[in-house]
Amino acid sequence: MSKNILKKLFSAPAEILEKSVEVGKELKQDIAKEEPVKEAVEYWKTLGPGLITGAADDDPSGIATYSQMGASQGFSLIWLSLFSFPFLVTIQEMCARIGLATGVGLAANIKKHYSKKILYLCTALLLFANVFNIGADLGAMAKGVQLLFPYLNFIFLILFFAVLSLFLQIFISYRKYSKYLKYLTLILFAYVVSAFSVDINWMEVFKNTVIPNIHFSKDIIILICAALGTTISPYLFFWQSSQEVEEEVLKGETTVAMRRADNNKEEIHKMRIDVWSGMFVSNIVMFFIIAACAATLYANGITNIATASDAAIALRPFAGDFAFVLFALGILGTGLLAIPVLAGSASYAISESFGWKTGLYRKLKQATSFYGVIIVAMGLGILLNFIGLDPIKMLIYSAVLNGIVSPFMIFFIVHLSGDRGVMGNFKNKKISNIIGWLTFVLISLVGIGAIISLLI
């Protein structure tokens, strides 16, 4: 055998090995590139009720409240976006855990463990606050669309959005409907983008965020109550717990016993990721709306913003058409997201109170009473726009109303979620109990202060 043949024979494995190493490196690089994408996809799949609930927290009422905070007080109240986060996330996590651990919604648990008087009081307060909020949000959405298309009729727009919302809730399957709500949450980032489109002194913003500037007056107390009320809202409590149940039903767990038996630490862990993510989105949007309005409106002496529409109009001369359009689109998107949550949470509470069949996963014929409550709540919300109530004032006052009503619900949420007899091994840890009761005391004091301020 010639030397050349031997040389080729022995060099072939080396070349193959070298090529294999190169291919291996390229494959490893490709996997490394794909890994973040896969993680992002898995993270998105984990998000659900918590994300939707957090996004619905930033409804037109919330946008109006945050805009007014920035316009009237500058950066001085922006610390509330950070301060309220642990209270919000703790209460919402409790609500979600109640739904997972018991297999039924919040109202069903109140019904089981407390008197009917307490149940009916909580349900009545929730319905009253939600109907008021629905009316305010419908009016705000109509005003928001008129900013972009002024020739469209206000009444027509209110009726259109109400009918659209009802159609989606009643005739679209919950599996598809929940995906629609989930993707609709992305509209909230319009407010983040709008904040970066204006000139803001970020050092001053962050200083006011971490070092609270606390001074009290009648207007400040009402604003703080509105901020906490629109952030830690009663309708979110009932929606969160019932949506956890809906998600379990989608997995095939159609009975309470099946849902209770399926609980494990992994499920609770995923729920917490979802809830923390949703509440973070809620408060980061609050942060950027206050910052944008403080840097533009307050800085130019415009201190009275009663609606999200007012904020969009006022921003236009200082922030330009881009921020104006983003604010207007945000009003529409958040309204489409929040109104179903408001009507749905009221229906969950009332239906569970009276033992009716509940669930957006059911057909209209299977849960007539449940969908009937949604229709009635929407109808009452529509009427509020035609009986002489000023839609401009309705937004802020609906937030204040939520702040006054919230403590009634929070008391039972903390009590239920800390009871081993109700929650088993998934009852509150010590730190959750402390934050929960602190939230109850804090919002109670703020609510009482707001009532006194309004009466004086």
- H/E stretch holding 87 reads helix 85-102
Neighbour count for residue 176 (Cβ, 10 Å) = 10
- What does the alpha-carbon distance between residue 385 and residue 139 come to, in Å, rounded to a whole number? 7
At 305, which CATH number?
Answer: 1.20.1740.10
For the packed helices 116-148 and 154-171, what is the interaxial angle rounded to 10 degrees? 130
Residue 138 included in any domain: yes
CA distance 443 to 437: 10
* Spatial separation of the C-alpha atoms in residues 333 and 335, rounded to whole Å: 5
Average pLDDT, the chain: 82
Residue 26 falls within a domain, yes or no? no
CB atoms inside a 10 Å sphere around CB 206: 14
Q: Report the alpha-carbon angle 303-69-395, nearest 5.
A: 95
Mean pLDDT, residues 218-239 taken together: 85
Q: Is the pLDDT of residue 148 over 90?
A: no
Type of residue at 252:
G
Q: Is 49 inside any structural domain?
A: no
Identity of the residue numbered 59? D
Give the end-to-end CA distance of the chain in Å, rounded to a whole number.
110
Distance of CA 392 to the CA centre of its chain: 22
For every residue of 252-272, DSSP letters joined together read: T--SHHHHHHT--HHHHHHHH
In a domain? residue 5: no
For residue 361, count other CB atoms closer than 10 A to its CB: 18
Q: Pick from 136, 134, 31: which is nearest to 341 by CA?
A: 134
Q: pLDDT category, 17, cuts 50, 70, 90?
A: very low
Residue 318 forms part of a structural domain:
yes
DSSP annotation of 429: P
| Residue 17, in any domain of the structure | no
The 10s digit of each residue's pLDDT in 384-398 is 888 766 655 665 677
- Structural domain of 408: 59-455
pTM (predicted TM-score)? 0.84
Nearest to 100 by CA among 430, 433, 347, 423: 423
pLDDT category at 305 given cuts 50, 70, 90 is confident
Exposed (0-12), middle (13-18) or buried (19+): which is 399, by Cβ within 10 Å?
buried
Residue 6 inside a domain? The answer is: no
- Overall domain count for the chain: 1
Tokens of 436: 């929960």
45 within domain boundaries: no
